Amino acid sequence: MTTNGSTNGQHHTINLGSLMTSAVESAIAEADIYHGSGTTYLHIDNPLKVSSSSNNIDDKNSNSAAHHNPTGAVVPPISLATTFKQSTPGEPSARGDPNSFGLGFEYSRTGNPTRGVFERAVAAAEKAKYCVAFSSGSAATSAVVHLLIPGERILSIDDVYGGTQRYFRKVVNPRMGIEIDFVDFSNNQAVLSKMLTGGDKTKLLWLETPTNPTLKVTDIEKVSTMTKRFNANALLCVDNTFCSPYFQNPLEHGADIVVHSVTKYINGHSDVVMGVVCTNDEEIYTQLRFIQNGVGAVPSPFDCYLAHRGLKTLHLRMEAAARNANAIALFLEDHQGVTKVLYPGLKSHPQHDIATRQQNGYGAMITFYCIGKREQSAILLQNLRVFALAESLGAVESLAECPSLMTHASVPDEQRALLGIDDTLIRLSVGIESCADLVADLDNALNAALKNKQDKQKQKQSSFLPKVESGSREGGGYWDWS
């Protein structure tokens, strides 16, 4: 008999022989709920396949777990050493260790065994040949920008993480001499116009999909095709943080570079700040390695250990959080305290079809607009008990925030207004708690905001009631408006 499973995002058939009963078949099908990119990266000893001629790796030895793990430990050790002994001057040790990428180890900023393990695992998860880790998502973004030189130009999606747009506007443009243009990538003509206007100066297209915080979804393949046709020298970089490598793999859709804030879903436990850059291009990888070493914004070995441990449960966390998010999005759509819900999994989402085609799942980020104004959104957030009022996202615990006052406060007022980031917009990062508890928490908070608005309306109405002399009509004091 056979059963269906999933390892690389594609369901496949496994022949388990005549011993398989229908009950076992059903049990396996029920257990194997994974819809994302699969979990094969958990079992690959050497996910990074490189030629020995270009990186000095002994293929025979580098693929042997026993050769580089003589103890047989199933958990990679934390290597805290800052420097490594050399047997001969100028000859780094352990060139054959795949975690050194053929370079050996000499100084921990340049290369570290624990960091190497993590980078190889993320590369496998993202279906990339190469991965370079940095001390934060912002440092990873900065490393990509360092691929450009003064006078060149970045074309960025308009609805971008607040920290990224602030870095582009206040650091990259004025201090590095790199031009920045923001554009709505859902408008192909606008993107093409901006691309052609910049001419050959445009060297980098920066894309988030889904975006932060309004969850716009962009067709990566379409943008890639357009870029290659009209500006072949420009690189397409996709910030894949919101989907994680489990629900989306931009390199497979034509992206040149993928960036992640590891702080979010990859680590998943709100205890590590880190970023990574992934690519299939060896030249880009070589430059990123040089930047990593030259700038020195590298993560600590302990953080790499924690993030690697988090990566091992990525599939479990993403599935659980996405299931919760779907139910919560449907609940919010029906609640009278909500005026609009943005979640790629809803058919009402403007780019639902693109998300369905491009992603392996809809993720666990939800944006919605609550009824009323800033006062009501504040009451809503203050009345949450299961959701924590906090910035960041992608962890096991559920978080809620008001982007206009928190993560996107640095975005200019006029730009926020254009993007629809007002004081009633609430961003949820749905965790893996009980879905019933999360829904009850939101219901209670929304009802508190709704009651406040209704009370305000009653007070406003009563202030306009005409007063009369007491006793002039039965009931006295006020006219009977019934």
DSSP state at residue 457: H
Q: Are 159 and 208 in contact (CB under 8 A)?
A: yes
Q: Are 55 and 102 in contact (CB under 8 A)?
A: yes
316 contacts: CB under 8 Å, gap ≥ 6: none
Catalytic residue among 120, 264, 317, 427: 264
Separation CA 241–CA 318 (nearest Å): 12
Catalytic residue among 32, 49, 59, 109: 109
Compute the radius of gyration of the chain from its Cα atoms: 26
69 contacts: CB under 8 Å, gap ≥ 6: none
Alpha helices in 46-96 (DSSP H): 52-55, 59-62, 65-68
CB under 8 A, 24+ apart: contacts of 347-353: 349/215, 349/217, 350/186, 350/216, 351/186, 351/216, 351/217, 351/218, 352/217
Q: Are 155 and 205 in contact (CB under 8 A)?
A: yes
Cα within 13 Å of Cα(85), Cβ side: 1
Asked about 175 being catalytic, the answer comes back as no
Question: In angstroms, what CA-CA distances link 106 with 36, 49, 285, 405?
Answer: 38, 22, 20, 45
Question: In angstroms, what CA-CA distances link 318 with 36, 38, 454?
Answer: 9, 11, 38
Catalytic residue among 239, 256, 423, 441: 239
Asked about 264 being catalytic, the answer comes back as yes
What residue has token string 């990593």? Answer: 292
Asked about 256 being catalytic, the answer comes back as no
Q: The sheet that has 275-279: what strands, in order across it?
A: 130-134, 275-279, 257-261, 235-239, 202-208, 153-157, 179-183
DSSP state at residue 88: B
Tokens of 327: 């139910």
End-to-end CA distance of the chain: 73
Question: In angstroms, what CA-CA distances link 319 with 133, 326, 419, 435, 472?
Answer: 25, 11, 30, 13, 68
Asked about 169 being catalytic, the answer comes back as no
> Catalytic site residues?
109, 161, 239, 264
